[in-house]
A and B are shown apart, each in its own frame.
Chain A
Amino acid sequence: MNRVRSFNAGFYVSSAVLFVWLLMVLSVPFLDLHPNTVSLEKILNLPDADSFLGYDDLGRPLFDRLLAGAYTSFSVAFGVVLVSLFVGTTIGVLSGYAGGQWDHLTVRIIDIFMAFPGILLAIALSGLMGPGIGNVIIALSVVGWVGFARLSRAQVMSIKQSEHVLAARALGASHGRIIGYHILPLIVAPLLIELTFGIASIVIAEAGLSFLGLGIQAPEASWGSMIRDGAQYLLMAPHMVLVPGVALMLVVMAVNMVGDGVRDWLDIKGKK
């Protein structure tokens, strides 16, 4: 029976959530935000007419900081995903296509990078290189490329054996043409799924680094550093943790649900 290709309601809701976030983030440079304006008389205040999410421990408006933090978060996520996708896919595709000694070497290198649990290597790197958005992107990319390399290598390994590739080779197509025309288009779908889930883990990782004080430098806002600052005022001003916390959770949840939706949609095996 043919399954109709459709998404569930969760997919549409989370796509909408992400779209709204994206619009807000894109409009940040044009908005009149004051995320770093300290006003001592408003310290830890609850929401008022100027800031409907309240104020933090330095009297800075949380709504402005939330948007500035979203800007940081999204910038890092896109930066890391682009670098990791490019580096990882290039290494993975070439290694899988070439095979032999180079492939062995690549697999070993991938194994070595995978031996560092989670974002531990990124913690060490950004800790040593010092805070700052550029260093965060570098540190997370050093961890992030591995997933794309592993996936694209595995995909290429199986596709290069298929008959249409053999036919192209028999017709005298160059390696570049085989990779570009006959292999790459077939690995776009799995890479797209990996990319979606990658964004969710990068958003968490960036917030984690900033939470540890290794990410974005104060006074610039990041959701992670906002949660860390708020953790000291849990009893007096729980909104300081809840505002960035709920935002982070919503974005990560939405990205994961979009990832699930895209995977189900593209999953040919699942269609029975």
Chain B
Amino acid sequence: MLGYIVSRLFSAFIVVFGVVFIVFMLIHMVPGDPVEVMLGESASVVDREMLRHALGLDQSLPQQFINYLNKLAHFDLGQSLHSKKAISELLSERIIPTLELSIAALLVAFLIAFPLGIMAALKKGKAADTAAMVFSLTGISIPNFLMGPLLILVFAIMLGWFPVSGRDGLSSLVLPALTLGTALAAILSRMIRASLLEVLNEDYIRTARAKGLGTMRVIGLHALKNAMLPVITLIGLQIGALLAGAVITEMVFSWPGLGQLTIESIQKRDYPVVQACILLISTTYVVINTLTDIVYGMLDPRIRISQ
């Protein structure tokens, strides 16, 4: 088990290193002179050279990368070109709203996906199953940036139940969480259905039924537990879609999270902040997936032995 954990952590370390390299290279993807793009054409030569020096862009590429790594190792993300604040400070202001939104969306997804997936599996081939799967296909096909405005139209403008945008109390969280959560619920309910159907054919389920257990007990005690393994992996992977979807959802609802900071910084050409946001979101994703892998390995010995 320890060997498995160590090998997972080692892989994660290499991946994070690669992610840092790509994020570092991003600033060199700016066409032309990034300094000129950031400051605008009217900036004086002195200002340009100062920024170039401050960003270390006057050094050789390998030297720049070493400096970048060195700063990261000291948790120094630099400062925003726009607000002149420390980037770490900017990020810490934005993490909580994004976490709030993601956790609420995950909750929405569970609350929809489990009843839906279980019902579809139990009523396989019947009307309820078809209805659930049509809902799922619709959910997958409606992107966040369409779902958001539609929910705003109905529940904020027409019914006036929730605020249109912003982050002010629990009621402002409902619509963004629904927007982000339904897409995940759609995928998750399909997976739960498929996974349950596979398990329901197993002998031990027939045994459980034969000894007279009710449907609820068979599903709750015997089937779900074993059907959960592939679902857990999917949830880990879907956290990525959740984090990327949060970027768009935050823009739709003016939710002051990391995603909004990313897009605002792109618009302001504040590239060091963009780099820091991408780095933080991606690293979070890697950490979550590594944890999922480790939990999976603990739950299912076959996984860690095959490694």
On A, residues with C-beta under 8 Å from B are 108-109, 111-113, 115-121, 123-125, 127-130, 200, 204, 207-208, 211-214, 224, 227-228, 230-231, 234-235, 238, 241, 245, 248-249, 252-253, 256-257
Contacts and interface: CB of A to CB of B under 8 A. Distances in A.
Interface in B9-26: 11, 14-16, 18-19, 22-23, 26
A204 B245 CA distance: 11
A214 B144 CA distance: 16
B150 A241 contact: yes
29 contacts: A108-B15, A108-B18, A111-B18, A112-B18, A115-B282, A115-B286, A115-B289, A116-B19, A117-B241, A117-B243, A118-B245, A120-B281, A123-B262, A124-B278, A127-B263, A128-B26, A128-B271, A208-B143, A208-B144, A212-B248, A212-B251, A228-B145, A231-B148, A235-B157, A238-B153, A245-B149, A253-B137, A253-B138, A256-B140
Nearest to B263: A212
A247 to B, nearest CB: 10
B145 A227 contact: yes
Label chain A's interface by main secondary structure: helix
A183 B289 CA distance: 32
A118 B243 contact: yes
B15 A115 contact: yes
Interface stretch (B27-35, B87-95, B104-112, B205-213): B27-35
Given A111-B11, A117-B241, A249 B142 contact: yes
A124 B244 contact: no
Contacts of A208: 143-145, 248
Contacts of B14: 108, 111-112
B143 A207 contact: yes
Given A111-B15, A112-B19, A115-B19, A224 B145 contact: yes
Contacts of A252: 140-141, 143
B294 to A, nearest CB: 16
A118 B241 contact: yes
B246 to A, nearest CB: 9
B152 A234 contact: yes
A125 B19 CA distance: 14
Contact of B278 (A121, A130, A204, A214): A121
A127 B274 CA distance: 9
A171 to B, nearest CB: 34
Contacts of B153: 234-235, 238, 241
A211 B18 CA distance: 29
A211 B138 CA distance: 20
B252 interface: yes
B131 to A, nearest CB: 14
Given A249-B141, A252-B140, 15 more contacts: A108-B18, A112-B14, A112-B19, A115-B16, A115-B18, A118-B241, A118-B245, A120-B278, A123-B247, A124-B278, A212-B247, A228-B145, A234-B152, A234-B157, A256-B140
B252 A204 contact: no
A227 B261 CA distance: 21
